[in-house]
A and B are shown apart, each in its own frame.
Chain A
């Protein structure tokens, strides 16, 4: 069983798709010789050349707009924004152009592009640590993907590249260094404490696997009976840790990772809640109007008769993210926070 980091898995996905389809191109800041700010695109310039792996000026609107234009012409650009926080510099091109051209053109046009965004708090402060996926879940016409493991990241990115729609692909920067352990792809944060670097080269004996993970399919990362935790990205990993502690305390937790926010696999989430009767949604986004809030609303609306307690949400405190690492961590849902929330849910009697 291979043990790739998420960064290496994403690199592999890009490499395989670029080998498979000559229309896949990469554009972004420092993606070429430098290999990307997080080394995710390392080696791709060498293999595919400067026509298909293009370094750009600092021009987020032009980067995204260029991807839109090339996609309109039938190419499959993968545009990288160096930190998700910079996407607002090009927001019109993703929210008003990429998302809407298909409808505005009455179905004539499609925009088969992927926009890769490194998300998540990593102690750089307000302009480098955000999780902005809610802007995109809120914008009809965009698909939004947010893997929590290396295996999921690889399969989902391959599927995203092959999708004929604009896909916003959120990669948690702390998870870049984490590995998939075992077939289920459980991630651990301990591994994330290491520097995020692409791992050792692919095992030469392993053939490139064409393992797509379809968009819009959630993954039950851990089975349980008492409480459902719906969690994304790094919070999925914290939810799993919390679940392990709770098991020792006699509470059985099911962890559902949506993996895709749009289209959302409502059925898997609701199926879990109908079984456990208690739901907690945990994301790293600032709490108000987050994707987590939308998921919580859906659960309340559609699984109301199955709930023994109100749906709970945990998210980042509603504030711009400050710089001090300890303060950041205190503002985010921690493993003890998740454990405490589950206890609250379990304590409530209808």
Chain B
């Protein structure tokens, strides 16, 4: 008789509730932002991570607050999980002086250096060697901090990503590379763009351990991330984790994602990361239904306050732009 694989021990209750809360923060923030784009004149565009909340939240809970992170163009969830203030993040969307970058960066260029958040980026894949550089700095400092480098299935074929993973491995640097495989790069499905099925299968080619995690299961992501983070922290070098997940919205703004086959979205919705996790917490009696709903209401209020904060903040100016060219 096959032995049933033991479920890993659950983290402490407080941690689990924080995981839920963060996923809900990301979801409600993103949905409120979508609504703002529909009803107000919002500058620029956004690339939303609705449906992908479990990945950054699972990863972040394996980190220490002084660890570092680089992000992608779809980075609101990464930023929120890393602790970037909802107010400052929303204000950045509104191009306000009180934004994370004083309104200068927008969604694609979120930085919060105090929290170790080294940037979302408008260039697919470009943050990966920057993560390697940050890890080099950490190594030279003699500290045991770790750097997480997010990139997507689309980015996995960018030349610079190959360079970065190889270099991190050659120099045995403390980077955890997390590939968020949401199946699409704009309209390009992964099976048309990538010569292999699992990006994690490239890990041996880079001389590092690879793993696949269910990207819609926050605890599964957390467990793989723990292994990789602990490995990096004790000097064992980089790892590659591929998280299989899905974005509910199109690539950006109101892009309708008509390239998706019928039924695909519905199938993924049935495995919504927040719904499944809430259900599990209620089943394990970690949280009651009322308590879960209370978390949602609190987050709803916080996000509304973030929007109000953004709306009442002053606009960014040309003078500020000029002052930020050189240090």
Give A residues with C-beta under 8 Å from B. Answer: 25, 51-52, 54, 56-57, 59, 61-62, 64-75, 77, 90, 92-93, 96-97, 100-110, 112, 140-141, 143, 164-165
Whether A62 pairs with B163 at a CB distance below 8 angstroms is yes
Q: Is B33 an interface residue (CB 8 A)?
A: no
A70 and B136 contact, CB distance less than 8 A: yes
Question: Which of A96, A107, A110, A112 contacts B123 (CB under 8 A)?
Answer: A96
Query: Residue B327 at the A interface, CB < 8 A?
Result: yes
Question: Of B135, B163, B324, B325, which is within 8 A of A57 by CB?
Answer: B163
Instruction: Give per-residue flags for B102-113: 1 if the beta carbon is below 8 A from chain A beta carbons, else 0.
Output: 111100010111
User: Which chain B positions have C-beta within 8 A of A101?
Assistant: 111, 119
The chain B residues found within 8 Å of chain A, CB to CB, are: 70, 99-105, 109, 111-113, 118-119, 121-123, 126, 128-138, 140-141, 159-160, 163-164, 166-167, 170-171, 320-321, 323-327
CB distance from A80 to the nearest CB of B (A): 15
A141:B119 contact, CB within 8 angstroms:
no
Closest to A75 in B: B137
A163 to chain B, nearest CB (A): 8
Q: Is the CB of A62 within 8 A of B111?
A: no
A109 interface neighbour in B111, B135, B171, Cβ under 8 Å: B111
Q: Using Cβ atoms and an 8 Å threshold, which residues of chain B touch A90?
A: 160
Cross-chain contact B119 with A62 (CB below 8 angstroms): no
User: Whole-angstrom distance between the alpha carbons of A171 and B82 in the complex?
Assistant: 42
Instruction: Report the minimum CB–CB distance from A48 to chain B (whole Å).
Output: 12
Evaluate contact between A97 and B130: CB separation under 8 angstroms. Answer: yes
Summarize A's interface: helix, strand, loop or mixed.
Answer: mixed
Complex contact B100–A106 (CB within 8 A): yes
Highest count of chain B CB atoms <10 Å: which of A66, A102, A103, A143: A66
Contact of A103 with B325 in the complex, beta carbons under 8 Å = yes
B-side binding surface: helix, strand, loop or mixed? Answer: helix
Distance, CA A110 to CA B113, complexed state (A): 11
Q: Are B160 and A74 in contact (CB under 8 A)?
A: no
B residues near A61, Cβ cutoff 8 Å:
129, 159-160, 163-164
Beta-carbon nearest neighbor of B114 in chain A: A108
Contact between chains at B327 and A97 (CB < 8 Å): no
Cβ-defined contact, A69 with B324, below 8 A = no
Pick from A62, A77, A104: contact of B101, CB under 8 Å: A104
In the complex with contacts A57-B166, A65-B160, A102-B327, A107-B129 CB distance below 8 A: no
* Contact yes or no, A106 B324, CB < 8 A: yes
Contacts of A65 in B (CB 8 A): 126, 128-130, 132-133, 160, 163-164
A105 to B132, Cβ gap below 8 A? no
Q: Are B133 and A104 in contact (CB under 8 A)?
A: no
Report A271 CB to chain B, min CB distance, Å. Answer: 24
Which residue on chain B has the smallest CB distance to residue A69?
A: B133
Min distance, Cβ A102 to any Cβ of chain B, angstroms: 6
Provide the bound-state CA to CA distance between A93 and B141, in Å: 24
Q: Identify the closest chain A residue to B113 (Cβ).
A: A108
Inter-chain contact A69/B134, CB cutoff 8 Å? yes
What's the minimum C-beta distance from A160 to chain B, rounded to whole angstroms? 13
Q: Are A105 and B119 in contact (CB under 8 A)?
A: yes
Q: How far is the CA of A90 from the CA of B160 in the complex (A)?
A: 8
Of the A-B pairs whose beta carbons lie under 8 Å apart in the complex, a sample of 9, sorted by A's number, is A61-B159, A65-B160, A90-B160, A92-B123, A104-B119, A108-B111, A108-B113, A109-B111, A109-B119
Question: B324 contacts which chain A residues (CB < 8 A)?
Answer: 102-103, 106-107
Most buried by A among B104, B118, B320, B326: B326
CA of A74 to CA of B116 in the docked complex: distance in angstroms? 13
Say whether B103 contacts A59, CB under 8 Å: no
A93 to chain B: which residues have CB within 8 Å? 126, 129, 160
Choose one: B101, B135, B164, B320; the contact of A108 (CB below 8 Å).
B101
Instruction: Report whether B327 and A105 are in contact in the complex, using a CB–CB cutoff of 8 Å.
Output: no
